[in-house]
Structure 1
Amino acid sequence: MDRSSGEGRLAGETESADGAVELVSRSRDLGSVSVSSILDGNADSRIQWADPDGLELVGRGVAVRFTADGTDRFDRIRSQASRAFDRLTHDGPAAARPRAIGGFSFHDGHEPAAPWAGFDAASFVVPQILVTRTDDRTWLTAVGSRADEAEDRLERWHDRLSALSTTRPSASPPGVAGTRRTTSPAEWTDQVETVLKRIAAGRLAKVVLAQALWVDLEGPIDVPATLELLGRQYPNCYRFLVAHDVGDTFFGAPPERLVSKRGDRVETEALAGSVPRGETPAEDETHVERMRADAKFQHEHGLVVDAIREQLAPFARDLTVREQTIRRLATIQHLQTPIEATLEGDRHVLEIVEALHPTPAVGGVPPDAAWETIRDAEPFDRGWYAAPVGWFDADGDGEFAVALRSGVASDETVTLFAGNGIVADSDPGDEWDEVQLKFRPILDELQ
């Protein structure tokens, strides 16, 4: 029997109680079922997470909720989690342990207004029901305030899920009725030229500008089904879905790992610079060679590598920057540099997340000037776009992705987000084309 540890808000409360509220979790083998069936219906909080290495988490309901805002939101989430996990007793395998799943907004001053209703500046949920799928096993975990409550919930959901088909019926894409942009090509050119002037004046080295695309659908969207399609098309990307009991659903298939922490080992990466895929392997290589040889791409990528190295160095006993490689996805190719570190002392993954967010791949250099420029230039709220989304456990281990290739969905509307890095020799037209390429992964699955 494990004793897990974290400070929390209990059973949907917005503030955690300091009273001695004990939480209990129970797990059992689930066998072969369609785990996405747990996401059916809209009444409860629903969470999904999948990483490229085979871990999938699907949760429903709220056993404990942690929320925070302001500049100290990372510390407050970590503090809430430590108290909540300290009161949680887990009886089951380590793989099936309860985890806090959620994310942060890009800006610490974020307000949860439409389309981000229900999305606080920081929000994590320990689900009442959690399905954990690894390479070889699938586990069902139930969390309650008493042992009998957790055991009863476990049995009911085990029977419910076991009675379902092992495959989920495929849903047809909703179809796209039309799109509307937050930023016109002329406005984009003005924004980029303003940034280039600030770079020339020495105020910036790089900033990432983003756009939003409102997509009107021909019918209601089935977000879990859309996410499943994205998983088939982009199997080496992350996938996530966050749907609170109020507001819309944030989902995406990001290619970029922010950080993975297991014990004292940390893995992250620089992912910056992108070109399209070709129609043939030869065309792929032509695009890649152009990117490798282009000073603008290499400068942009190098800024990200250098910033991550500097951000990790205070935490690390040793740090290794691997050789640059190419990350190939279905429609796009990126420059990628893996980075690994061994931590000095006991650290929580949220400390690393806070240190790394935002990387220059989604913010800029220097960070404060880049954030100011983003606020001045972008005519929409980024919300959770380009921010950390992922999970952590009682030991402070966890994994986070950068919430790119993402959107917010309501019944018949999806708001998509995409951006691109602007450096000294950026061309507004080329940057526009690259942003449109990044809308494609989700837009293609909606049509």
Structure 2
Amino acid sequence: MSSLSGEAAARGAVVSRSCRVADVSYRAFLAARDAPRIHWADPDGLELSGVGDAATVTASGADRFEAVREWATALFDDTDHDGPEVARPRLLGGFAFRDDHAPEGTWSGFPAAQFVLPAVQLASAGDETWLTVTRAGEDVDPKAVEATLADAREEIEALPAMQPSGPRPGVESTTTTSDEAAWREQVERAVERIEAGDLRKVVLATALRADLADDLDPRDLLERLRQSYPSCFRFLVEPTGDAAFLGATPERLVTLDDDSVQTVALAGSVGRGDTPEEDAELAAQLRDSEKIRHEQRLVTDTIAAQLGAFGDVSVGERSVRKLSNIQHLNTPITTDVSKDTHVLDVAEALHPTPAVGGLPPDAALDVIRETETFDRGWYAAPVGWFDGDGDGTFAVGLRSAVARDRTVTMFAGNGIVADSDPNEEWAEVQLKFQPILDELRR
């Protein structure tokens, strides 16, 4: 069963009008308007910022992906847009890791699924920036939308093109949901399950709460992540203004463009070296480790099998993906799909990948529920956008955190297989907190 709620839903038209504008700071743009506020940037060069909502949908339950798709299909059935492709109206948002997620505690304000059609959107690709104003409903007047666009353009052109990041807030203290001894015990129990034969792999995660010395603007944190991790997908989702989910993730879940799907198997990690020689040695260890290669094969084979239901699958060459503080094994995977395939269909089929869940999926999810002492919320789940044609891009919400008041709760996990060493797994999971933790400390 699914619970679905939509505002300005499935009736009337979607009317949007666009114009080109000069470059503007997305942080200034987001700060100038009330929530909901959403930002998305990908290594392919697309950057989106959205404020306000012309339409919003939330869903929960086992068929939440399908429910969102059906709602969106009805919403976009009658669309009047006069701008270029880059400026087209999009729904931005994401899903929780589990379909029975409850929006409470750290995750208050974040339903099991939520997507927003921004009332005002900035879209940049290459050297062009486009402003789009959108309204949805039964009695939308195109001339009124054009007038609103003119007003919005005046406001946008008064904003700065550049805006310096504020100072790092400083970290007063940190608290883990599982200390090292508890983590070791969790890993050891998981390995026992794997050795017993009912589990092949499980991804165990933990959370780290940082209490800050000063106030934090989540948009400043996202900007610092952009500077440190320009090759990652970067996102900020702020449904109510009370909290923001943000991160810089290296992992693409799926891109659907026309009839072509792109995804990636990303698994296994080591740190970066202090010298080129040390860095190369660590990369060689990553490539040569039988444990890591085994883990990566599990992820690659499973994703390829899941995509096989949509079309012919092509698996690319495995390589080492280097980020500022970590290296991963990376295998690109592509599929040609039919014209009626929606990106949400593929996202649902892939989530959770073995890189964030495990194998077999049901057994791994049971272990996660029994073992983890915190709510994953939107961590390790699909976050991204899609349009009226069903094209779009979703990343996996890794290297991520929830910022609320003067606290930032970070999340990280590791894949556990038969020969996992608890000490090594603890060291590796701490490394994954660093992208955000380093940007908080003074």
Q: How does the TM-score come out when normalised to structure 2?
A: 0.96
1:77-116 maps to which residues of 2 (within 5 A)? 77-116=68-107
Structure 1 runs (4+) greater than 4 angstroms displaced:
none
Secondary structure of the 2:379 match is: coil
Please give the alpha-carbon distance, in whole angstroms, between the structure 2 residues aligned to 1:396 and 1:242.
21
* Cα shift at 1:35: 2.8
CA-based RMSD of the aligned residues comes to 1.3
User: Which of residues 390, 393, 396 is equivalent to 2:387?
Assistant: 393
User: Which of residues 294, 301, 307 is equivalent to 1:312?
Assistant: 307
1:258-277 maps to which residues of 2 (within 5 A)? 258-277=253-272
Query: In the superposition, relative to structure 1, how do residues 383 and 8 fare at CA in structure 2: closer, same or farther (>3 Å)?
Result: closer
Q: How does the TM-score come out when normalised to structure 1?
A: 0.95
* Contact persistence 1:29–1:139 (CA under 8 A): yes
Counterpart for residue 286 of structure 1: 281
AA aligned to 1:135 is G
1:210-289 maps to which residues of 2 (within 5 A)? 210-245=205-240, 247-289=242-284
Secondary structure of the 1:183 match is: coil
* Contact persistence 2:5–2:59 (CA under 8 A): no
User: Which of residues 376, 382, 396 is equivalent to 2:376?
Assistant: 382
* Contact persistence 2:265–2:355 (CA under 8 A): yes
- In the alignment, structure 1 residue 134 sits paired with structure 2 residue 125: yes
AA aligned to 1:94 is E
* Cα shift at 1:86: 1.2
Please give the alpha-carbon distance, in whole angstroms, between the structure 2 residues aligned to 1:182 and 1:120.
22
* Number of residue pairs matched by the alignment: 434
User: Which of residues 414, 436, 440 is equivalent to 2:434?
Assistant: 440
Please give the alpha-carbon distance, in whole angstroms, between the structure 2 residues aligned to 1:169 and 1:161.
18
Question: What runs of 5+ residues in structure 1 fail to find an aligned partner?
Answer: 1-6
* Contact persistence 1:386–1:402 (CA under 8 A): yes
Question: What runs of 5+ residues in structure 2 fail to find an aligned partner?
Answer: none
Query: In the superposition, relative to structure 1, how do residues 279 and 179 fare at CA in structure 2: closer, same or farther (>3 Å)?
Result: same
- Identity rate, percent: 52
- In the alignment, structure 1 residue 348 sits paired with structure 2 residue 342: yes
Please give the alpha-carbon distance, in whole angstroms, between the structure 2 residues aligned to 1:88 and 1:65.
16
Deviations 1:285-330 (A, max 9, x none): 11111111111101111100000001100101x2110110010000
Deviations 1:200-223 (A, max 9, x none): 111110000000000000111111
* Cα shift at 1:149: 3.2
Secondary structure of the 2:385 match is: strand
AA aligned to 2:7 is L
1:179-218 maps to which residues of 2 (within 5 A)? 179-218=174-213
* Cα shift at 1:152: 2.6
1:419-438 maps to which residues of 2 (within 5 A)? 419-438=413-432
1:111-126 maps to which residues of 2 (within 5 A)? 111-126=102-117
Secondary structure of the 1:339 match is: strand
Please give the alpha-carbon distance, in whole angstroms, between the structure 1 residues aligned to 2:241 and 2:131.
25
Counterpart for residue 51 of structure 1: 42
- In the alignment, structure 1 residue 9 sits paired with structure 2 residue 6: yes
Counterpart for residue 3 of structure 1: none
Secondary structure of the 2:368 match is: helix
Counterpart for residue 4 of structure 1: none
